[in-house]
Amino acid sequence: MASLNVGSLGEYIREQRRNAQYSLRQLAEAAGVSNPYLSQIERGLRKPSAEILQQIAKALRISAETLYVQAGILEERRGEGLELRASILADPLINERQKQALLAVYDAFLKENAAPAPGAATDGPAIQNTHREDR
């Protein structure tokens, strides 16, 4: 897992808060976090969980994926499963180890599907149905 880039995350959240014309107190209330905690996040003193980032994103009306990328939790991609990744990271019913395991399995499947099978033609369907059952 990438390390959290807390300083620039806090700056980014502060910039988004100001763009939304929220005071620190207003955003804290809308996100359901304490005013001091949000202040510490903005100053780069705290590392918020994926769930807290999701709450902040919702209050700011921006995508949680954007904050996950800023935090270094997700790599910036061309949209490859960002919503799924964000959902996994925000799920409060599973722990961090389980979240990382799910993401690793998903990445393995993506990698497997991106690599052409040995001897497979690159154009046309990857799997051809050559057996038909007549009834």
pLDDT greater than 80 at residue 13: yes
Helix/strand/coil (H/E/C) assignment for every residue in 44-75? CCCCCCHHHHHHHHHHHCCCHHHHHHHHCCCC
d(CA 78, CA 16): 22
pLDDT greater than 50 at residue 1: no
Q: What is the DSSP letter of 119?
A: T
Q: Report domain extents, the chain.
A: 6-106
Q: What pLDDT score does 124 carry?
A: 44
Residues in the chain: 135
Shortest CA distance to 50 belongs to which of 13, 99, 122, 15?
99
CB of 24 within 8 A of CB of 39?
A: yes
pLDDT band at 7 (very low <50, low <70, confident <90, very high): low
- Residue 127 has phi, psi (to 5 degrees) of -125, 125
Structure confidence by residue, pLDDT tens digits, 19-73: 899 999 999 999 999 999 999 999 999 999 989 999 999 999 888 888 888 888 8
Q: What is the DSSP letter of 92?
A: T
Write down the CATH number for the domain with range 6-106. 1.10.260.40
What is the model's pTM? 0.57
d(CA 4, CA 69): 10
Structure confidence by residue, pLDDT tens digits, 99-131: 888 888 888 888 888 776 555 554 444 444 444
Structure confidence by residue, pLDDT tens digits, 80-97: 677 787 788 777 888 888
CB of 94 within 8 A of CB of 24?
A: no
